[in-house]
Amino acid sequence: MAKHSLPRFRIAVVGSGAIGSYYGGKLAYYGRDVHFLMRGDLHAVRKRGLHIRSKGENIHVAKVNCYTLTEEIGPSDLVIITLKATSNDALPALLPPLLHEKTALLTLQNGLGSEEFLAEHFGAERVLGGLCFVCLNRTAPGVIEHYDYGRVAIGELRRYPQPRTHDIAWEFKRCGIVCSVIEDLVLERWRKLVWNIPFNGLSVVAGGIDTAAILADENLRRLTLELMDEVISIANQCGHALPTAVALEQMKRTETMGAYKPSTLIDYLAGRPLEIEAIWGEPYRRARAAGIAAPQLENLYQQLLSLDWAQRSNSR
């Protein structure tokens, strides 16, 4: 990747919701050759561009390369995948027009299993994963509100970082994105699940509340810590060493967020499918396969399945 002189290096963003629009928008703002697969926001973005609003900066990308078909984008050097994991079944049809011999696939999706899914269909040598530590929401077509954080950590699937891993991280950094390279991608996915499993899940099952409300409720706060402890235990018994102090670190970080609505809550309120299998189902299945008891995770997983089924049934 280092041999490509910018901005000829071609980047495709598949999934232009809050995450894809934010990171792809920053790359485009700093002159990278970015092309977005876009559906719902297409006409608004073609007319008014992409807006990223935050405390520290306000970015407007006036001219955005956005398309409805990956065939219109064509072969790219890096494909950033930010679709919800619920749409992964569409990727085997969406991605082939974007591939050439050395195309790298970087998934910034939540939960467990997306890298393995991509490896199964496109080869493990193409696949990288990234974790986004960011508070943001899409508030209108083509408008992203950035509240806090923004760091990305990227790594390779089942191997140590390669030269391309560092090249991609460097390009993110040059575009104002704090980005680090990680040696153990799966370990870091478990670390993020320590936060995602309780806060995304409880925000929905507790009646549609934000992170500040969860922390303010004594019972929910206790349940949050119990879920965190279960996730840490599962990770460790599956061979991914997470210290128990991660739970306290995550709680302290959440206290600084204010009244933040997690992405699963946003999806639920909008009537969209929830990423239940990637965030709760797959960790629970790995716990069961390892013979690990996870009663709170199991209960939360079942509650979310019931709520999601009821919402889908009511919308028919």
Question: Could you list the active site residues?
Answer: 192
Torsions phi, psi for 174 (to 5 deg): -65, -15
Q: Is 159 helix (H, G, I), strand (E, B) or coil?
A: coil
Query: CA-based diameter of the chain, in Å?
Result: 55
Instruction: Compute CA 248 distance to the chain's CA centroid, rounded to the nearest angstrom.
Output: 22
Shortest CA distance to 128 belongs to which of 159, 174, 95?
Answer: 159
C-alpha 59/C-alpha 245 separation (Å) is 37
The structure tokens listed for 259 are 């009244």
Residue 13 bridge partners (DSSP):
36, 80
Give yes or no for a contact between 8 and 33, defined as CB atoms under 8 angstroms apart.
yes
CB under 8 Å to 47, separation ≥6 — which residues?
A: none
Positive or negative: CA dihedral 253, 254, 256, 260: positive
The structure tokens listed for 151 are 């760091």
